[in-house]
Structure formats: structure tokens, C-alpha cells
Structure 1
Amino acid sequence: MRLLFTAVLLSLPLSAMCADRITGKPFATRSEVYAPHAIAATSHPLATQIALDVMKNGGSAVDAAIAANAALGLMEPTGSGVGGDLFAIVWDPKTKKLYGYNGSGRSPKSLTLAEFQRRGLTDIPPHGPLPVTVPGAVDAWFALHGRFGRKPIADDLAPAIRYAREGHPVHEVIAYYWGRSVPTLSKWPGFTEQFTIDGGGTGKRRGPQTGEMWRNPNLANTLEKIAKGGRDAFYKGDIARTIDAYFKANGGFLSYDDMASHQGEWVEPVSTDYRGYDVWELPPNGQGIAALQILNLLEPYDMKSYGFGSPEHVHLFAEAKKLAFADRARWYADPAFVGASAGSTVKKLISKDYAAQRGKLISMDKAAREVQPATPKELDEGDTIYMTVADSDGMMVSLIQSNYRGMGSGMAPPGLGFIFQDRGEQFVLKEGHPNSFEPGKRPFHTIIPAFVTKGGKPWLSFGVMGGAMQPQGHVQILLNLIDFGMNLQEAGDAPRIQHDGSTEPAGQATVMSDGGELDLETGYSYETVRALMRKGHSVRFADGPYGGYQAIMVNPNGGYVGASESRKDGQAAGY
């Protein structure tokens, strides 16, 4: 399977990987994709082709993104679906401006912190009805379409509906993660009936295997209702009533009123300059500004001279990540509940002055074991899909969508063909914390799209899915492109770093006291590993927590350049 193939490929020493290219750069498993008119990069080849078809038929990049995202909810339910949330950044060539949309849902209004305490819970469970929040993806589709769509939304949803009825063969990595989810989620009502198949007379239900045809007529019906009845068909119609009855019958709290009152919001992206490139993220309740904080902390260092894979490169990255994630655990939350200071707090966190102040805590010789977040005084003033699309008019979409952990909560209302997200697991069951559970509140979010402009013009639309790996992945891609001179595909295929063990903004928000763990994808030299250990890092090998990358870059010679994650099933393609 692809996961194991990639592990074998990346087990080559970096020197051996370099030898395979005339350039001497880290080996890219495939070439960049060049296209003169339009391009799409998604985590599934069929979704990529759907996006291209939509644009060939006159749809905008937003139409194509909606169509591909709807298809991914069918084809890659391990990472997405209409039961989850969505964030997007859109470059509009007409206004020459970036637009951000926060399509995250809120907690049920009838569920309280006292209820969790009454049950004796110190963490919100990862599955079942309690972590379920309102799904924001469908609302986000219609908001994006209303501003930037050109084709009827029924046309955008038609390919997913057709594949849901007629079937499609399941890809390798998706089949692997689907199979892993079945034993855990089969206990929840509606999952087994709608997301498993008969195990060939064994009496056991299982997920589809690689190459096996999968159909989801229930999802086709749901998407048809949305296509005909619009946004309200999902949030205020029969679908919402089915959801209400399902949760009432199964110990849940999500209600018709929660669905009917949902509304996402347009937000202003925020940025920092990194060596002349303006890197854009969305503000909290997501974690995007962590990438900006890390870049600010690294900018004073001559990363290019250190070189990719050097002890200095890895050490400085890990130490900057620790500092940013300490603030992430303390300050990132729903701004509607944090108060009027939320905007000024973000502005301070991503400022160069603040980075210079915090950067003094980094030692070149020693790994930090404990890191404290900024004080109020200093601030005065796991699964997902990522995809990106660009059209012939210059519109570019950076979109990320998720059910959160695995295939979500396991809660699958009868006849609807989708699973609800378990994003509410990210709340803290502790009074006074910015991310403490409250009714009608948006949880801390890990999913973050990214965009880069240069000189006020679009340069790069990209993302890296994968929980806490996401801001770490954003930074590594940019280091690889800007500091280490890799091309767009090489930047994604180069061995990755993940630091784990920082203080988290979820659960009990345990504090890092041992420096955490440094995961290195195979390809870093033994000399680098030994040097890191001498600095006090706990280095370990891990096979899979390195995220999934897609990217589109503007080609200075005209058209676009695309790249897709070699560790997943995806494809970048254009015309």
C-alpha cells in the first residue's frame, strides 16, 4: 500500500535521495505539474478531475472547489464530509484581495460544562454524541458560492451525486484508514448500516478494501436535497429534523434549533512578512497564526546557510514551535467568547517585536524542556482533507475541511449518508480557560488553509492537513521553498519534522515539562540525530504523523504549477 511504499522510499539516506536528481535537491517522487489555464490539487484523483471538469464547463475556482469537496466527502469520508467544518481563503483577481471564511460550527446550546462535570468527565470523549458540534461545511459552500460562484450549485454537486449512486473504487490510503475506523465506530447507531459492507458471509461488517466499489445512495439523496432546496434544506428542512430526532433518541444534545441558528462568518486573513513573502492565515478559533509565530521566530536565523536537515535547522524549528504552541494553548479560542481584546491579542502574537522578545528564550545549544506562554501583560495592546484550485481568470482557493478525529464521532443519522464531526473534543472542561466548554461556542480548531502573496500578487495557495502538524507543516513547506530552494513538489516530499508533546489547548491542557518528542521522518542523517540528542532532544521514529500537502503556485511564465502529497492518494492536474 502507498503508506508503506512511502516509508520505504523515505528510508533512503538523504544523500541517496539527492543522487536521483540532476539538481542535487531532495528527491521528488513525481514532477511538478504545469498547466497554462487552470489547475486543481486534491487528495483524491477523481476529485481533482471533477474540479477540472467544472472549470472547463465555465465554473470558477470556487465552483470547482465546492464540487471537489462534495466528492471528497463521499470518496474520502475518513477525512471529510458534510458533517464537518470548513475554512477557506480565496484570492479574487477582480478586487485583488484575499477573503477568508470561517465555517466552523458551535456547541449545542443545551449542553453545559456542568453536564460534563455531573458525568464525572475530565475530558470530552472522542466519539459518540458528546463531542458533536454543528457542521459548518454546507453553510460555507453557499457563502463562498454566493460571492464567487458562477455555475448553479446544483451543477457543482452533480458529480458527487452521480458517483454516490453509481459507485467509485476506493483508493489505498483511504481504505487503510477506513478499515482502522470500523472497529471503533461500529458501536454508534447508523455507522455500521451506512459505512460498512458485508464481510463475505463471515457475519462481520468491514470497510471497503482497495479497489472495491463503494456507493452511498443516502448521501446522494442528501446532496440532492441540498442542490434543490439550498442551504436551508440542510439547516432548516427535513435533514435538520432527522438530525434532531436522531440525537434525542441517542443521548445527544444537538438540536434543530442549533442547526437552524448556525451561521459562519467572513473573516480578514492575517499575515506576517517572511523574507519578502507575505504569509496569510486565518485568525483564531483556528491555529493558523502559530505558523506565523514560528516564521517570525526563525527569520533572524540564516536558515539557508545551515542547510536542510542540519542540526541547526531541526533544532531551531523545534524550539520555535515550542514557543508558538505555548501561546497556542493559552490564547487561541473563539474570539466571540474571549472578548474585545481578541483582535489586539492576535496582532501582538504575530508581531515582529513580540517574536524578538520571545526569541531570546531560544538556546542554540540546549532544547527547552518547559515553555511558558506569554502573560496578559506581555500581550497588552489528527483527520482532514486539504485541497486547492486555481482557474483561468486568476481566482485561487485554499480550502480545508474535516470531520476531525478519524471518520468523526461515529454518529450517522439514518438515511443521510454522513457522519458528524467530533470537533467538540477540542474544548477544555475547566472553568476560566479561553477554550473552556460553553453552550453555543466554537471549539479550538486545528484545520487551517494558507496563502502567500509577494508584492501584493498571489504566489502560493497551499496547506498541510494533520492536526497539530498543520502549522508545523506550513512552516516546513515555506522553509523548503524560500530558504532551501526546493521546487513545489520537492518541498512536500522532503522528509518532515513533527514536534509532539507541547502544552495543548484541549482536554486538560497538560503542560509540557519534559521537552516533548521530536519525530523525524526517515531521511535525516545519523549525524543530525546525534547532534539533536546532545542538545537534549528526545528523538524518535514515527511512520505516519506528517500530514498531507497540496499546493498551487503562480508560474511567472504564465499559468500555474501544482504539487500533491506523495504520502496520500492525491493528484495535481490541470489543463
Structure 2
Amino acid sequence: MRNLQAPGRSPVIAPHGMASTSHSLASEAAIAMLKNGGNAMDAALTACAVQAVVEPGSTGIGGDCFCLYAPAGSETIVAFNGSGRAPLAADVSWFQDHGITHITQTMPHAVTIPGAVDAWCQLTRDHGQKPLADILQPAIAYARDGYPIGQRIAFDFAAANEVIKSDPDTAALFLDDGEPYQMGQRHQQPALAKTLETIATYGRDGFYKGAVANDILAKLNSLGGLHTQADFDMAIGDYVTPIKTRYRDHDIWECPPNGQGVFALLLMNIMKDISTFGDDPLSPQRIHHEIEAGRLVYRDRSLYLGDPNFSTIPVDELLSAEYANSLRAAIDPDVATSPLPDLSLPRHKSTVYISVVDKDRNVCSLINTVFHGFGSGILAPASGVLLQNRGMGFVLDPAHPNCIAPGKRPLHTIIPGMLTRNGKAVMPFGVMGGDYQAFGHMHFLTRLLDYGMDVQQAQDTPRFFADPHGAFVEVENTISPETREALTKMGHNIVEATTPIGGSQAIWIDWKEDMLHGGSDPRKDGCAIGY
């Protein structure tokens, strides 16, 4: 139990249904959908659509989506990959011929074909109870009538100011007389409202065909993009087979590659036989071992992760006990390893994650993203669609499994999670923060399962993250100077994080009492709401 005299908040506990998101308006919209007869999928997509309006720097209909779903709380987990693909003309030889050695954030080549809307349509059709038109109504209203800029959203607007300014259409929509919007101001997106209304009427075709698709293609092509209508016609997400590992009598489920969930599981396999070093997850020894495990795992991520339809990803080998044992044995208990070589990893930033459980105990774990803050910064003006920059996840080395290719999906950082035990789903969970997400899954789960924290405490705990390039370790400013000094003496290059590290949501299902326990990350503007 937390110290009730110290800052913090208790888990939200409710008997019927619950939603936890990174924005209070999204959580409220999800609960309203549950009360109006929608199920967990309907509510999660309602929240996601609202966040696509009210958190434009993190997510949108120009982004991608992944989902894990447990019908009636079973451990028969449904997994969906709604990540976008490179244009059919995006062959690595084209980039070589044009002297392009890497893909930067605001290039049109950073924009893969958005997968979110197709994912929403398929998931609604197959697992929802309400029509897509009903699901989109709250988002349409906020886009048309306006929504308040929250404290974290204002922070994100300011942080992405240069990206917003890089495109005149984006600047016209997301700047107020040339300046970032401030907390409490009203912001409207009327063009996006009309696009959402079109999708509500025509479904998938309202986005991937007709005026909206034409507007997006015209904008990208005017900037030199290789995108065509044929690419939009082929933008169809896939049901995939989830992967899992065992930890403290629980099964942890993730989506398979091209996402980094396999490396979250590899981290858990390493940590299962590492000491807790007492009851403090922020002891220097524990932090040291987590950092070292993370460095080894992220090295492997850069070597192996890509689209399994284009190259073999050794998932079984990565998740074997033998391999986890070998990595664990490579950790020096007292000294940091030398910095890893620079493997030219892309840097990853912004996402929203949503947990919902309904009265029938359908369980949804859903994540949606435009990647970096405000994605590519490219806005299709007539439709109001801000486009992601997931193409930055590709490399341009023909020998690498993550090299760009026609119709290929890039390395993806967003990973919804699900925890089951004794044949039942016990927790949808997820962590935002790009690269940090795999490490964040380990942070959250070990705080919960090894240190006995509740779902809120496990998210409140200060965080740290070793740069995947191996150059430094970011620590939040709530980690004590004494701990930082001890880590420095071990050889770690400690730097204070300039922004909060990640964000998260989770809902624990107490099957014995038939109660739901929700938590939401204080680093965001959101909350868990139950009824």
C-alpha cells in the first residue's frame, strides 16, 4: 500500500467495466460506450478515435495500430497487426540512385501507408457490437466543436514546434498565431471532423479511396513521395499469432514481429533469474542489472528485427531458455559493459495506449501511433490527416533484415501487452515511449510481480532507460543523486531525462472478487475510470 500522506494516487476499483487511457476525455468516452451497450473493443476504439483528435502529437488516423484481445477473458488471445507498409515503388535501389543514405522525420519517404483506419474497421467488424459510425461520434464532436489542450499535450506541442513549423499546412492548423497552443486553450480540427464523418459513412473506403486518399496522395506526391492509389488499396492489416513467455506463474503475451514484443519477452526471460536485491526496485544493483540486460536485448533488436514476410526472424531461438541464460551470464554484476557500437538505430517517440475491460470481461489491449511527436509533420490539408513517419524505422542497407523494400513493414516499437493466468486474462497493459516500450514492459511487470506493487504504484515508480546506441543512460529527475552517483561509479554514463520516460496504462482483473483495478501513468493527462 502506498503512503497515503505522500503525493500519488490509488488504483481505481470498480465492479462492472473500466477504461484506462492517457487522456481523460478518451477514458470518459470509452466508459460512455460501455454504458451504452458497447463491449471492450467498441470502447477501446472509441477512446482511440478521441485520442486521434485530442492527442494529435501522439496518434491519429494517419498512423498505425496493434491490438491484443481476449474474448470473455479467456487466454485465447486474438492479435492484430495494423502497421503500414512501404510504397510499392520504395525499392532500396531508388534511394541509392538518389543519394539518400537515411530516412529523416519530415521526408515524404518517412510516411508508410497508414494502417490505423483499416485496423479499426476490421476489429469493429469482427469483435465489436456497435457500428463504426457510433464509435466515431465523440471524436467527430471534439474535432468539430473543439477540445481543451491539456498540460502534457501543451508540453508536446512545444516540444514539436520545429516539426510543426516544417510544413505550412501543419503550422496553420497546430500553431496559434505562429506559437504553440497553451494549456486550457480550445483547439478545433474541422477538416478532420469531416474526414471522420466520411469514414463513419463509408467505412474503410472513406479513407483509402476517394477524396481523402486523393488529398493525402496529392500532398505526398507534391513533396516527392512514391505513394500511389495501389498502395492504399493494399493497406490491409493482418490477424497474427501472438507469442508468449512464462513469468512468475503468468503468461505474458505480445504481438509477433515486425513489432518489438519479442524483445520485451526476452528481457523478462533474462530477469526471471536475476535477484531483486531486496525490496527496492531502484537500488543501484538492481538498476545496473536491468540496464545491462536492456543493452544486450536492444543490441539483438537492431540485428534481427524486421518484417517476417521478407526475412526470417529467429523468434523461437530468441525466446529459448538457453539464449536468455547466455545473455544473463554475460552481465558483469559490478561493472557496466563498454558502450555498444553505433548501429544507426532510429529513435522513436510518441504513441497512445488503451486498456479496456467490460462487464462480460472481454479484454482489449490496443495501441495507436504516429511515431515521433506529430509524426512526419506532413498534413494533408483538405482532409486534416496528419501522417506518421514510421518509414524512419527502415534502414537502407540491402544486407539488413530491416532494409526498406516495396510493400514491407518497418521495425515497429508499439506493443500492446496481455497477462494471463490459469486460463484467464488477468491484465491488459501497455507502455508508451517508442524504444522504451520493451524495457517499459519489463519495468512495469517486474514492479508488479516481483516487488508487490499495485497497478498504479508500478506505473508511478521512477524510470530510467539505456540509450539503444549505448552512449548513455537516461534517468528521471526523481531518481536520487546518491543512486546516480553509485551507477556512475559502476561505469554508466548517467544523464537526466529531458522529458518523462514513457507512459502506461493497465487494468488488473480480480476474478475472485469480480473487481477491476485500474492504473494510469501520471506522466500523461489521462486516468482510469470505472463504473
What is the RMSD computed on CA atoms of the aligned residues? Answer: 1.9
The CA deviation at 1:238 is 2.4
Distance 1:523 1:245, change over 3 A: closer
- CA deviation vs aligned residue, 1:247-305 (integer Å, no higher than 9, x gap): 22232222211111111101111111112121111111111111111111111122163
- Counterparts in 2 of 1:157-168, with a 5 A limit? 157-168=136-147
Check conservation: 2:500, 2:523, Cα contact below 8 A: no
Distance 1:94 1:313, change over 3 A: closer
Query: Which residue of 1 is the match for residue 346 of structure 2?
Result: none
Match status 1:246 vs 2:219: yes
- CA deviation vs aligned residue, 1:79-121 (integer Å, no higher than 9, x gap): 0000000011111117641111110010111222223223322
Q: What amino acid does structure 2 have at the position aligned with 1:323?
A: L
Query: Which residue of 1 is the match for residue 22 of structure 2?
Result: 43
Greater Cα offset, 487-496 or 182-191: 182-191
Check conservation: 1:167, 1:215, Cα contact below 8 A: yes
Match status 1:319 vs 2:319: no
The alignment partner of 1:296 has SS state of helix
Query: Which residue of 1 is the match for residue 209 of structure 2?
Result: 236
The alignment partner of 1:89 has SS state of strand
CA distance in 2: counterparts of 1:461 and 1:227, whole angstroms: 27
Query: Which residue of 1 is the match for residue 525 of structure 2?
Result: 569
CA distance in 1: counterparts of 2:520 and 2:2, whole angstroms: 22
* Deviating 4+ runs (over 6 angstroms): none
CA distance in 1: counterparts of 2:168 and 2:402, whole angstroms: 29
Check conservation: 1:28, 1:490, Cα contact below 8 A: no
The alignment partner of 1:461 has SS state of strand
Query: Which residue of 1 is the match for residue 345 of structure 2?
Result: none
Aligned partner of 1:183 among 162, 166, 170: 162
Distance 1:94 1:520, change over 3 A: closer
Query: Which residue of 2 is the match for residue 294 of structure 1?
Result: 267
CA distance in 2: counterparts of 1:121 and 1:208, whole angstroms: 35
Check conservation: 1:326, 1:372, Cα contact below 8 A: no
CA distance in 2: counterparts of 1:209 and 1:219, whole angstroms: 21
Query: Which residue of 2 is the match for residue 507 of structure 1?
Result: none
Aligned partner of 2:383 among 403, 410, 416: 416
Check conservation: 1:306, 1:313, Cα contact below 8 A: no
Distance 1:224 1:93, change over 3 A: same
Distance 1:141 1:20, change over 3 A: same
Query: Which residue of 2 is the match for residue 285 of structure 1?
Result: 258
Distance 1:131 1:296, change over 3 A: same
CA distance in 2: counterparts of 1:385 and 1:94, whole angstroms: 23
CA distance in 2: counterparts of 1:525 and 1:195, whole angstroms: 37
Aligned partner of 1:554 among 502, 505, 509: 509
- CA deviation vs aligned residue, 1:514-540 (integer Å, no higher than 9, x gap): xx3122223434443333223211122
Match status 1:328 vs 2:284: no
- Counterparts in 2 of 1:59-138, with a 5 A limit? 59-93=38-72, 96-138=75-117
- CA deviation vs aligned residue, 1:61-92 (integer Å, no higher than 9, x gap): 11111111111011000100000000111111
- Counterparts in 2 of 1:496-575, with a 5 A limit? 496-502=463-469, 512=470, 516-555=471-510, 556-575=512-531
Query: Which residue of 2 is the match for residue 506 of structure 1?
Result: none
Match status 1:436 vs 2:403: yes
Check conservation: 1:128, 1:410, Cα contact below 8 A: no
CA distance in 2: counterparts of 1:565 and 1:173, whole angstroms: 12
The alignment partner of 1:488 has SS state of coil
Aligned partner of 1:195 among 166, 170, 174: 174
The CA deviation at 1:439 is 1.6
Q: What amino acid does structure 1 have at the position aligned with 2:375?
A: G
Query: Which residue of 2 is the match for residue 360 of structure 1?
Result: 329
The CA deviation at 1:403 is 0.5
Determine what percentage of the aligned residue pairs are the same residue. 40
Query: Which residue of 2 is the match for residue 11 of structure 1?
Result: none
Match status 1:54 vs 2:33: yes
The alignment partner of 1:294 has SS state of helix
TM-score by length of 2: 0.95
- Counterparts in 2 of 1:255-294, with a 5 A limit? 255-294=228-267
The alignment partner of 1:87 has SS state of strand
CA distance in 2: counterparts of 1:233 and 1:434, whole angstroms: 34
Q: What amino acid does structure 2 have at the position aligned with 1:483?
A: D
The alignment partner of 1:336 has SS state of coil
**Structure 2: runs of 5 or more not aligned:** 343-348
Check conservation: 1:333, 1:444, Cα contact below 8 A: yes
The CA deviation at 1:19 is 8.9
CA distance in 2: counterparts of 1:242 and 1:468, whole angstroms: 31
The CA deviation at 1:497 is 1.6
Check conservation: 1:466, 1:545, Cα contact below 8 A: no
TM-score by length of 1: 0.88
CA distance in 2: counterparts of 1:55 and 1:249, whole angstroms: 43
CA distance in 1: counterparts of 2:474 and 2:217, whole angstroms: 43
